[in-house]
Structures are given as C-alpha cells and as structure tokens.
Amino acid sequence: MNETTETATRKRALSCIQPSGALTLGNYLGALKNWVQMQDDFDCIYSVADLHTITVRQEPAKFRAQIYSTCALLLAIGLDPARSILFVQSDVPAHAQLSWVLGCYTQFGEMSRMTQFKDKSARHAENVNVGLFSYPVLMAADILLYQADFVPVGADQKQHLEIARDIAVRFNGLYGDVFTVPEPYIPTTGASVKSLQDPTKKMSKSDENPNAWIALLDTPEDIMRKCKRAVTDSQARVCIGEGKDGVNNLIGIYSALTGRTPAQIEAEFDGQGYGVFKQRVGEAIVEALRPIRERYADYIADKAELEAIYRAGAERAAKIAGRTLGKAMRKIGFAF
C-alpha cells in the first residue's frame, strides 16, 4: 500500500481488534474473513488495539504474548503487509495524544449514555476506571487519525462509531474540514456465529463454558469434541426452522465454510441424523482452520520477523497519523 495514485483514489477502511484473548471462529466468519477480502477494494489499515485492552487489568507477560499472538493470527488469516498497514496501536503515540484533544470536544453526557460502559462497569465493578468511561474517545481518535472513509462495525460497536462521527462533525464545525466523517461498512458476506451451547447468544471468548466457542488455534481434536457436544434439538432433522436455534447455527457455519446454501445442506443431510451432520461440520471447521494454524505457527516462531512487520507498519501509520494530528493541533492554535 504505497503512496501511489492508484491507492490514493481508493477509499480507506480502518479496523481494530483488541489482543484480549483467543480469537474465535465467530470472529473469523463474522469479521476477519471480510477484512482479508476488503484488501481488494480498499486502502486498508489494521490495528491491534492494545491501549484499549488495559481498561481491564492485564497480567503483563500474558498481555505481551497476546499482542504477539494477535499480530501473528492476523497475518495468518491473510492480512498482507505489502497491501495493507498492520501495526500495534501503542507504537503510534498520536492515538493517545489525539484522544486527549478530542476528549476536550466530547460532552460528559455523551459518554454517560454509552451502553458498553454500563455493561462493562457491571462486569468489572471492582475497577470502574476513567479509561473505561472515556474509551470511546480513544476509539474516535483511532478512526479519525487515519481519515477513514469506512469502519466495519458489528451491532455492539455502532454506538462508538456514532460518537466518532459526532465528534468529527463538531470539530469540523468549529475549525473547518479537518476530519473525514466515517461511514459504517456493512459487508455483503459474514456469518453471525452463535454459541455452541446457548445458540441464542453470539459465540464469545468470554463465555465461561469452553465448549461454547471454538478458537482459531484449537486442535482438530478439540474442534471435533466441541462440535459433537453442540446443542441441537430432539427432531433429528437437519433443516432451518423456528425453534431450531442450535441446528440453524450449525447450518450457518457449514454454509459459510463450504459455500453451500441452506437448501443444499438440507438436501445433503436428508434422512441423516445429527451425529453425521455434526461430524461433517467439525471436519469442515478443521480443514478451514488448518492453513491458518500452520501459518500462525510459522509467524509466532520468528518473533524478530513478526516485530519487524508490525514496527514497519507503525512507521507507515505514524506518517498518516502525524499529518492529521498536526492539522488538528494547528487549527486549535497550538504552536505545533
């Protein structure tokens, strides 16, 4: 992604992910697979958002390992540093600097209405810190620093994108055309993967039941075991239907991995029980994740090369971020 005329004419998309634990099959089919495809159409910037992660207390050695692991996994799924920018958020100080500036243009009432603050405060009542409260402003800085045209968002992030848009519009209204006002990017493909144990909820790495979710780095044996234990129903018929949340979820996963339509899947397993179906779903997951696990093993084995990739990405990101930060600071009146 060099500064060429070709890339300059493309719209820019920005995506961030926290290094806060194992990435799941739900993360991959719901978002990360689309990140790979977006490289064909957009000028893409991807960030490992480690600054966001410390709103919850982290064990230092584990936290550091998760940053490495997340970078390696993003490369393993197909993010290409020759076509996109991949970097670690804390390697670009402009994120924290612009966050302070934007915080001075954000109202307390706006932050008080953020639903994720309320949810996380309830889950971490022993550590309701200021960072947890103001983290949407840091997220706004993440986006606005890079003049992003589009930001892929899930349902739980829509409110954060809205506040970023509001801040950009407010700042631009005071100082002129400083920030691009970002739009949500809704991909044409993307599966909503549910918990294997409670298919009324989305698959999440924070689920206390380890059988509820599949990590991208799970062993084939673990994947098969979790699929065999997946919740279904008593009908023993593979078809989409009301009240068949568990089966609907497995059909959705199988469809996303094989490209078959639900109707084709129903025909494939007509007259067969759930045992056969779960076996095939497990096998499809194992085969889809096998090349990712293999590439991950190569990246994580060479920490020096891994660091070189994301440090180089940070240098490229810092140039873009520095231009935006400088413009914003000068507009306010800083001798920047």
- Domain range for 121 is 5-190+303-332
| Other Cβ atoms within 10 Å of 236 Cβ, number | 12
Share of the chain above pLDDT 70, in %: 93
The per-residue pLDDT for 191 is 74
Q: How many domains does the chain have?
A: 2
Q: Are residues 74 and 175 in the same domain?
A: yes
Q: What is the mean pLDDT of residues 57-72?
A: 96
Check pLDDT > 80 for residue 124. no
Task: Point out the catalytic residue in the list 33, 120, 194, 278.
Answer: 120
Check pLDDT > 80 for residue 292. yes
**Separation of alpha carbons 200 and 245, rounded Å:** 7
Q: Residue 249: pLDDT band by 50, 70, 90 thresholds?
A: very high
Which residues neighbour 10 within 8 Å (Cβ) at sequence distance 6 or greater? 41, 42, 43
Which residues neighbour 32 within 8 Å (Cβ) at sequence distance 6 or greater? 17, 23, 74, 77
195 within a domain of the structure (yes/no): no
Q: Say which CATH number the domain at 128 has.
A: 3.40.50.620
Check pLDDT > 70 for residue 166. yes
**Separation of alpha carbons 215 and 87, rounded Å:** 22
Q: Are residues 147 and 257 in the same domain?
A: no
The per-residue pLDDT for 1 is 44
Residue closest to 185 by CA, chosen among 8, 317, 15? 15
Share of the chain above pLDDT 90, in %: 79
Q: Which carries the bigger pLDDT value, residue 190 or residue 271?
A: 271
For the stretch 97-114, pLDDT in tens is 999 999 999 998 888 787
172 within a domain of the structure (yes/no): yes
Active site residue 202: yes
Q: Are residues 282 and 313 in the same domain?
A: no
Q: Are residues 111 and 233 in the same domain?
A: no
Q: What is the mean pLDDT of residues 105-125?
A: 77
Output the six-digit token pair for 313.
Answer: 């990405």
Q: Are residues 144 and 215 in the same domain?
A: no
For the stretch 171-221, pLDDT in tens is 999 999 999 999 999 876 667 899 999 999 999 888 889 999 999 999 999
Q: Are residues 291 and 307 in the same domain?
A: no
Task: Point out the catalytic residue in the list 33, 194, 202, 226.
Answer: 202
**Separation of alpha carbons 50 and 142, rounded Å:** 12
Residue closest to 15 by CA, chosen among 116, 109, 151? 151
Q: Which carries the bigger pLDDT value, residue 158 or residue 258?
A: 258
Check pLDDT > 80 for residue 8. no
Q: Are residues 326 and 291 in the same domain?
A: no
Residue in this structure with the two tokens 């002129």, named with its chain if needed: 176
Q: Are residues 99 and 177 in the same domain?
A: yes
Q: What is the mean pLDDT of residues 162-167?
A: 94
Active site residue 11: no
Task: Point out the catalytic residue in the list 11, 205, 327, 331.
Answer: 205
Residue in this structure with the two tokens 């109202």, named with its chain if needed: 107
Q: Residue 50: pLDDT band by 50, 70, 90 thresholds?
A: very high
Check pLDDT > 50 for residue 6. no
Against a cut of 0.85, is the pTM above it? yes
Q: Are residues 282 and 307 in the same domain?
A: no
Q: Strands 183-185 and 150-152: what pairing?
A: parallel
Check pLDDT > 90 for residue 18. yes
Q: Are residues 267 and 119 in the same domain?
A: no
The per-residue pLDDT for 223 is 98
119 within a domain of the structure (yes/no): yes
Residue 182 in 3-state DSSP? Answer: coil
Q: Are residues 287 and 309 in the same domain?
A: no
125 within a domain of the structure (yes/no): yes
Q: Residue 3: pLDDT band by 50, 70, 90 thresholds?
A: very low
Q: Say which CATH number the domain at 291 has.
A: 1.10.240.10
227 within a domain of the structure (yes/no): yes
